[in-house]
Structure 1
Amino acid sequence: MTPISSKRIAVFPGTFDPFTIGHLSIVNRGLELLDEVVIAIGINDAKRTYFTVEQRLDMLRKFFHDNPRVRVLAYDCLTIDLAKQCHAGFILRGIRSINDFEYEKTIADVNRKLSGVETIILFTEPELTHVSSTIVRELLRFGHSVDEFVPKGLKLG
């Protein structure tokens, strides 16, 4: 088993298609508790995405290039296996609703049982609960501006 770092490192897994102001809020708030956040773009061939994995990696690496406490990578394994590879003791998740909570609690319980990796759950700020990548993708598909839903300075595409 790969040893967990003495640094407080968390993997923040997701599709991030695209990365939203809600995601940024979780990263920023996570950095108040952690030494490092690894934004981990999950590769799921069954999911129909708007942006390619390469585009999402490029967008996020450029956006966070000045922040040495944030790493961006893609993965296609179990999140707990990625956490071990990154020497992370935590998985960082954000939840918007009770439905999210039920799902995330089940996954967190399994992850802890299998690997000992703890999940840190941050509740979405009330003013951001309506923001989701799904909604942003739909707006993009129909040619609407998404400026108010993505971080300022994030170049889509």
Structure 2
Amino acid sequence: MRVGLYPGTFDPITLGHIDIIRRAGTLVDKLVIGVAINRDKGPLFTLEERVALIEAECEALAREIGIEIVAHPFENLLIDCARDVGAGLIIRGLRAVADFEYEYQMVGMNRQLDTSIETVFLMAEAQHQAIASKLVKEIARLGGDVSKFVPPRVNDELRARFD
């Protein structure tokens, strides 16, 4: 079974994330969504809320593309998380050149830690390339409409937070 790990904070999950999850699902038999516990970022949503939103959004998607998708919180090194879940593939979404520069360094370090785990980059579709969770939260906080950037359930949760 080919297992992939798609890590991130997902605070909140966006349509860009869903796009990458859908496309990553064609590469693996099981996709683990690694939900990073990053206390330095000060997330808007709790870990439990982020996991619940991911599970809700991915339930039908998993059936649609015929793979298992699970959310897995982690706070250790990404490479250790990949080992913990049995992933041979780390999936990273790219939006812009700036993303690539950071990710390129990360891959180099991860390869030094474990050469058996590969990293695959997927470019976000053009309509999702500008979407960033940080910007979505800022727009929602200032009363803007984020419905074209996030799934309806996430939009409702954001509105509840900021209304």
Q: TM-score, normalised by structure 2?
A: 0.86
Corresponding residue of 2:69: 70
| 3-state SS in 1 of match to 2:107 | helix
Corresponding residue of 1:3: none
Paired residue type of 2:36: G
* In structure 1, C-alpha distance between the alignment counterparts of 2:41 and 2:128, rounded to whole Å: 24
* Identity fraction in percent: 36
Does 1:104 find its partner at 2:103?
yes
| 3-state SS in 1 of match to 2:40 | coil
Does 1:10 find its partner at 2:11?
no
Q: CA deviation at 1:48?
A: 1.6
Q: CA deviation at 1:141?
A: 1.3
Q: Which has the higher contact order (CA 8 A, sep 6+)?
A: 1
Q: CA deviation at 1:10?
A: 1.1
| 3-state SS in 2 of match to 1:38 | strand
Q: TM-score, normalised by structure 1?
A: 0.89
* In structure 1, C-alpha distance between the alignment counterparts of 2:53 and 2:126, rounded to whole Å: 26
Corresponding residue of 2:13: 19
Deviates more, 1:72-81 or 1:56-65: 56-65
Q: CA deviation at 1:44?
A: 1.0
Q: CA deviation at 1:152?
A: 4.3
| 3-state SS in 2 of match to 1:156 | helix
Paired residue type of 1:95: L
Paired residue type of 2:52: D
Matches within 5 A, 1:13-52: 13-52=7-46
Paired residue type of 1:72: A
Matches within 5 A, 1:114-133: 114-116=113-115, 117-133=117-133
* In structure 2, C-alpha distance between the alignment counterparts of 1:110 and 1:92, rounded to whole Å: 15
Corresponding residue of 1:86: 85
**Alignment root-mean-square deviation, CA:** 1.5
Q: CA deviation at 1:62?
A: 2.0
Work out the number of aligned pairs and report it. Answer: 151
* In structure 2, C-alpha distance between the alignment counterparts of 1:49 and 1:118, rounded to whole Å: 28
Which ranges of structure 1 fall in alignment gaps of 5 or more residues? 1-6
Q: CA deviation at 1:77?
A: 0.3
Corresponding residue of 2:146: 146
* Structure 1 residues 18-43: Cα deviation after superposition (integer angstroms, max 9, x where no partner): 10011011000111111121111100
Deviates more, 1:13-22 or 1:60-69: 60-69
* In structure 2, C-alpha distance between the alignment counterparts of 1:125 and 1:156, rounded to whole Å: 25
* In structure 2, C-alpha distance between the alignment counterparts of 1:80 and 1:35, rounded to whole Å: 19
| 3-state SS in 2 of match to 1:54 | helix
Q: CA deviation at 1:151?
A: 2.5
